[in-house]
Structures are given as structure tokens and as C-alpha cells.
A and B are shown apart, each in its own frame.
Chain A
Amino acid sequence: MKILSFNLYGINRQTVTRSKPERPVDATSAHRGTLLRKLLVGEKIDIAGFQEMQPHWRNWIRDNLSDLYGTISAEFGDHKDANTMIYRKECFEALDFGSFYLVPGAPGIPAKNPESHFARVCLWVVLKELATEKHFLFLATHLDTVESVKSEQARVVVDSVEPLREAVKTKYRVDDCQLILVGDMNSQPDAEQYPILTERLRDCRLASTGHTEDGVTSTSPGFTYCESEADYVRNGHIIDYVFVTEGIEVKEYTMIHAATNLCPYGEYISDHNAVIAELELP
């Protein structure tokens, strides 16, 4: 299955590129959504976790993707922003879903560390792959930008992994429940949050047995005009991830340069690039 993690940038208006302020970008969800659908179809995405899902984005997805994908969202506790996931209806069934907030104890009701910008949330969905009847968990989150709270938030997410897996095994009487976590972690591989996130999960970029991305190309370059691929931003600003539990095989890990004019599905789908992992459940 192909998994996408994509921060879709919450704005819904005209803007400009970071590298060339004179270059206009139509950053409305109506325009960028059309390109997003091309990417989803072209890359044959099975499941995606999106961040910065403002209401206009959620409406667009509901109106324009429902023939292919089911959608589940979890709103922030204090903001209209949300984490949204979509899954290919033909291949998967969503058995259950819920959310918890990124403060210790992982409460199911809105809660916030006073220092965090927002009441950040993590969405979890129990999915069944229809062809194999295998159950697995899909989590999507977006950590805060405030340095002091990110480790605590990462800890809450990671500590929920095993209890969630156990809960699914008990509830559905299955022997195994692998887990996929996607999101914009606002944390680079050398940040203190990264070892926390990789305590129980593997970073697909490193676990890939096939093609993979280098460790320097930014996943979040901002809208960038490039003459050629040589202009991709390579400053190691890697903050968008797909993490998986031990049993999942990572066949490939790729990035679509959606934040550039060179994106094969049309210029500037977001200010982030789209990261894609091809996975196989055990």
C-alpha cells in the first residue's frame, strides 16, 4: 500500500514564492485541490494523512474525493485546524477512529500545554485491508512549532502506540496490529524529538529496502521556484515523516516536490513536499 504524509498548508488565497516574490501562486484550495487529486491518482495513494486541514480544505476533500476516498478528521481543541486522513474505500474499511490530545495522559477531550501554540491532536483510525482482512492502525498528527513542548508531545504520541495496538488486538480478537504514524513533526532528524519518535517506530526513509530519499532534501521548503532539480532546497530541513512498527516492510520511500514549480502534477500544491512510503503489512 502507498502511504502519503502531506502538510497541505492551510491558506486559501493568492500568495507568492519565497524564492521569487514576484512569482504569484494560486494557493486557493480549489486550485491546489485539483492538483492534489492528480497526485493522489498518479501516485496511486491508498492512505494519506494531511495537516493544516482548515475547514475550506476539509470541504474541498469532502466534495471532490469522496468517489475514491473515505475521510476522517480530528480538529484541534482550540483552533479550526485539523488532522485529516483519507483512505481508498475500495481497498480498506475504517472500523473505528478517535483522537487524543498531545498532553500527558493523552486525554480524549481538548487539552493543551500552556506553552503550545495550539491544542494539538493526534487522530487514530483502525483500518482493515479488505483483500487480506488484516487490521492495522493509522495515526496522523502535527506537533507544535514551540521548541519546549515538542518533546512532550512526541512522547505522548509514542506512548500511545502500544496501548492502542493492544486495544485493537483485544477488541477485534486479532493476533497482530501494525501501526503507521504520519505527520509534520516540526522536528528534524537531529532534534531531541526524533529519538523519542523512533523509540518504538522506524523512519521509512531509513527503513526502505528499495529507492529512498537522501537525508538533506528539505520536506518543507516553502513555495520555491526552481530552474532545475539542482535548485531543490537541500538544507536538511526534514520534518515530515512516515513511521512504521517493526513488522511492516518498507519497499520504497519517495518525495514529490509539490512545493516547487517542477512538481509533475502542477506547480505548488503546498509549501511542503509530499512524502510517500510504499509499505507491505506482514
Chain B
Amino acid sequence: MKRLKLILSALLLLTLLLSACTPEGNVTPETVVTDPATEAPTEAPVPKTVMKVMSFNVWGGNSSNQTTADGSNKRVDARVSVRSKKLNVMLDAEAIDIAGLQEVKDEWKTWMRNEMDERYAFVGRSTQETGEGGYVIYRKDKYTVKDSGAFWLVEGAPTTPQKHPDSNFDRMCTWVIFQVTATGEYFLFLDTHLDTVDSVRAGQATVLVGQIPILQAKVKESYGTESCPVILVGDMNSEIDTEPYNIMSKVLCDTRTYSKGSTVARDFSTSPWFWYCKTEADYKKDGHYIDYIFVSKGITVKNHKMIQTATNLCPYGSYISDHNAMISEIELP
């Protein structure tokens, strides 16, 4: 009996080894890797660079028991560990290339270091006072960071932490010079968060737009490029047609209005706090539109949209932040 068992297991071993070498037709390998290079026509024109950029104030809070703001008194588990998982899902599903995040506090930094989707890398820095960061996350297989830095939103735009005496915080702007890996193109990406104090925002916006030509010149000089497209994203704490908005929209194009495809109506709130909705009809519409994506002239805006991440109806899981996520699909000149 023992011998028979031995023979049987030897036979089984032999069968498995043989099948290892010659898989039968009943096994379907569907992973045959095809080299995209061999599929592309040999002399295809170089396509323009299309990318999906996002502006997202991710909320720096980390509460497990946050109350919604709509009077329904629903409770939200708003710990970063819970919300960041959903952000990974959104990044993937929306195929985001580059995102400027605001209110990136310690828990979010831990997420970026350890739990963010592996296809993304991050660059940025935090303010001195709040520890909140303007961080830019990007697809590391598609873009290379050539240089990055920050300036503070005070006159003279210093590179060390500074604060306007009337501003709540030492507000800053993160800038990143990117190169598109596939085409070699350069562009400038800025991520900022203006203050909540009314009297200082116009000054902060002026500093911001004043720095853009200086950074563009830096790109042209350092990399020998003729032009330098600019993308500026952020929570501007300023509604449409207010003074800070007008300062920015005079030199850059608001992707909401320049979109050639679909766009977002201006009466939506981009920052509704945690908002419970029975249906989409309950989305907050009070015109509190404060999160933006601006681009320089020459960049084509294919479409602009908002994901209702501050609601229970967010398709990537309820309540990723107290703000909604703004997404523009753009094409470099």
C-alpha cells in the first residue's frame, strides 16, 4: 500500500512537472505582454500631451466623528486613514496625472509616503505655522520633476516663511517644474492656498501672479525652451468675480470658463463642508466656488468637472474631504 502511494505521488509529481513545461490548451494565458512600441505605426506624428490635473483641498482634520453641515446631523468617519483609501481609488478611476493638494497635514504626509498608489510620487513643502502643506502628487512614470520650491505670499515673495500681519497663516505657494517623459516638454505647476482673511487675499493673489513670469523665465533659461506653459491650482478662498479672482484670471484662464467640453456651473459650492444628500438635487448650490484650476493661454481645456467628494454620493466612497475635487483635462500647446 505504502509503495502504491509512493508510485502514485511520483506519477502526480511527473504529471505536474510535465504540465509545467507544456501547459495544456485548457489553460488560457491572457497576460501575454505586447510591446506598445511594436503596435504603434512607425511614422506617426507626435501626439500632443493631454493630461488630467486636479485641485483638491483634502481637509487637514482627522476626526472619526465629524458632523455633517446640512442639518441632518449625520456622522462621518473622517480619519485620514479612511479618506485616503478613497482618494487612491479616485486617482485611479479618474486617471489623474497631476494633483495639487491643500491642507496636507502629518497624517496625509504619512499616506503619501506609505500608502499612496505606487504609481504616484509627491513633491512640496509645508508652511511653518500650520504644518499644512501644498503638495503636488504626480504619475512618476509619465512626468519628471526637474526643480521645485516654494515662495511665501507676501510682498517681495521671499523663499523663507513669512506672514502678512493681517493674514491668519503664513500662506505659501509650491512650484514644480515638470518635464513630460514621453515628449521632453517642460511646464510649470503651482499649488497654493490663499488666506481666509478678506483684506489680504488680493495682495496674496498679486504676489502669486507676479512670481509666474519670473519662474517662466527660469524655466526658459535653465532648459533652453521657447515657452513655458503654466498650471496654477488651489483653494483661493475667493469666489468668482471677486478681486483676487480677477487678478488671477487677468493673466491666466479659469478652466471652468475656458473648457471646450463639459464644465461646472458657477452656482455650485466647491467647498460645502461634509454634506449629506438624498439625491444629486441636494448638492450644495450657494455659489461658494473657491477651488480653481488656471492655465496659461495656449493650453487647451478639453473639459472641466467636479467630483462631489464632500458628500455621501461621491462615487469613490462618501466624504473624502470637506471640499469637492476639481478636475480639468488639458492639452499642452
Using CB atoms, name the residue of chain B closest to A166.
B13
Using CB atoms, name the residue of chain B closest to A73.
B28
Using CB atoms, name the residue of chain B closest to A91.
B118
**Residue among B19, B23, B33 facing the most chain A CB atoms (10 A cut-off):** B19
Partner of B31, one of A71, A105, A124: A71
Q: Is B287 an interface residue (CB 8 A)?
A: no
Q: Is A74 an interface residue (CB 8 A)?
A: yes
Interface residues on B, range: 20 to 34
Q: Report the bound CA distance from A108 to B23 in whole Å.
A: 9
Partner of A42, one of B19, B26, B89: B89
Partner of B24, one of A42, A82, A108, A159: A108
Q: Which residues of A have CB within 8 Å of B13?
A: 163, 166-167
**Contact present for B93 and A75 (CB under 8 Å):** no
**Contact present for A41 and B88 (CB under 8 Å):** yes
Q: Report the bound CA distance from A123 to B16 in whole Å.
A: 11
With contacts A107-B15, A159-B12, A266-B315 taken as known, whether A72 is within 8 angstroms of B26 at the C-beta atoms is no
Q: Which residues of A have CB within 8 Å of B197?
A: none
Q: Is B211 an interface residue (CB 8 A)?
A: no
Q: Is B281 an interface residue (CB 8 A)?
A: no
Q: Is A164 an interface residue (CB 8 A)?
A: yes
With contacts A38-B89, A90-B118 taken as known, whether A167 is within 8 angstroms of B16 at the C-beta atoms is yes
Tell me, rounded to whole Å, the shortest Cβ–Cβ distance linking B264 to chain A.
23
Q: Report the bound CA distance from A117 to B316 in whole Å.
A: 39
With contacts A107-B15, A167-B16 taken as known, whether A98 is within 8 angstroms of B24 at the C-beta atoms is yes
Q: Report the bound CA distance from A162 to B139 in whole Å.
A: 42
Q: Which residues of B have CB within 8 Å of A75?
A: 26-28
**Contact present for B31 and A99 (CB under 8 Å):** no
Q: Which residues of A have CB within 8 Å of B85?
A: 42-43
Q: Report the bound CA distance from A203 to B13 in whole Å.
A: 25
Tell me, rounded to whole Å, the shortest Cβ–Cβ distance linking A119 to chain B.
9
Q: Report the bound CA distance from A263 to B16 in whole Å.
A: 39
**Contact present for A41 and B92 (CB under 8 Å):** yes
With contacts A73-B28, A108-B18 taken as known, whether A98 is within 8 angstroms of B89 at the C-beta atoms is no
With contacts A105-B11, A171-B17 taken as known, whether A265 is within 8 angstroms of B27 at the C-beta atoms is no
Question: How would residues 25 to 62 of chain A score, 1 for a CB under 8 Å from any chain B CB and 0 otherwise?
Answer: 00000000010011001111000000000000010011
Partner of B29, one of A72, A126, A163: A72
**Contact present for B30 and A62 (CB under 8 Å):** yes
Q: Report the bound CA distance from A100 to B16 in whole Å.
A: 8
Q: Which residues of A have CB within 8 Å of B183?
A: none
Using CB atoms, name the residue of chain A closest to B315.
A266
**Contact present for B26 and A58 (CB under 8 Å):** no
Question: How would residues 1 to 44 of chain B score, 1 for a CB under 8 Å from any chain A CB and 0 otherwise?
Answer: 00000001101110111111001101111110100000000000
**Residue among A41, A61, A99, A109 facing the most chain B CB atoms (10 A cut-off):** A41
Q: Which residues of B have CB within 8 Å of A162?
A: 9
With contacts A41-B117, A264-B317 taken as known, whether A100 is within 8 angstroms of B15 at the C-beta atoms is yes
Tell me, rounded to whole Å, the shortest Cβ–Cβ distance linking A89 to chain B.
8
**Contact present for A74 and B26 (CB under 8 Å):** yes
**Contact present for B9 and A163 (CB under 8 Å):** yes
Q: Which residues of A have CB within 8 Å of B315?
A: 266
Interface residues on A, range: 35 or more
Using CB atoms, name the residue of chain B closest to A164.
B16
Q: Report the bound CA distance from A99 to B26 in whole Å.
A: 8
Q: Is A96 an interface residue (CB 8 A)?
A: yes
**Residue among B8, B12, B92 facing the most chain A CB atoms (10 A cut-off):** B12
Using CB atoms, name the residue of chain A closest to B87.
A42
Q: Which residues of A have CB within 8 Å of B19?
A: 98-100, 108
Q: Report the bound CA distance from A77 to B26 in whole Å.
A: 7
Q: Which residues of A have CB within 8 Å of B31?
A: 66, 70-72, 89, 94
Q: Is B86 an interface residue (CB 8 A)?
A: yes
Q: Which residues of B have CB within 8 Å of A265?
A: 89, 317
**Contact present for B16 and A58 (CB under 8 Å):** no
Q: Is A160 an interface residue (CB 8 A)?
A: yes
Q: Which residues of A have CB within 8 Å of B316?
A: 38
Tell me, rounded to whole Å, the shortest Cβ–Cβ distance linking A257 to chain B.
13
Q: Is A97 an interface residue (CB 8 A)?
A: yes
**Contact present for B27 and A99 (CB under 8 Å):** yes
Using CB atoms, name the residue of chain B closest to A264.
B317
Q: Which residues of A have CB within 8 Å of B24?
A: 98-99, 108-109
Q: Is A238 an interface residue (CB 8 A)?
A: no
Q: Report the bound CA distance from A265 to B86 in whole Å.
A: 9
Q: Is A106 an interface residue (CB 8 A)?
A: yes
Q: Report the bound CA distance from A66 to B18 in whole Å.
A: 28
Q: Which residues of A have CB within 8 Å of B26?
A: 74-75, 77, 99, 109-110, 121
Q: Chain A interface (Cβ within 8 Å of chain B)?
A: 34, 37-38, 41-44, 58, 61-62, 66, 70-75, 77, 82, 89-90, 94, 96-100, 105-110, 121, 123-124, 126, 159-160, 162-164, 166-167, 170-171, 264-266
Q: Which 8 A-B pairs have the closest CB atoms?
A: A70-B31, A98-B19, A108-B19, A41-B92, A163-B13, A71-B30, A42-B89, A73-B28
What are 15 of the A-B contact pairs (CB < 8 Å)?
Answer: A38-B316, A41-B117, A42-B88, A44-B88, A58-B28, A70-B33, A72-B30, A75-B26, A97-B23, A98-B19, A105-B11, A107-B15, A108-B15, A110-B26, A123-B27
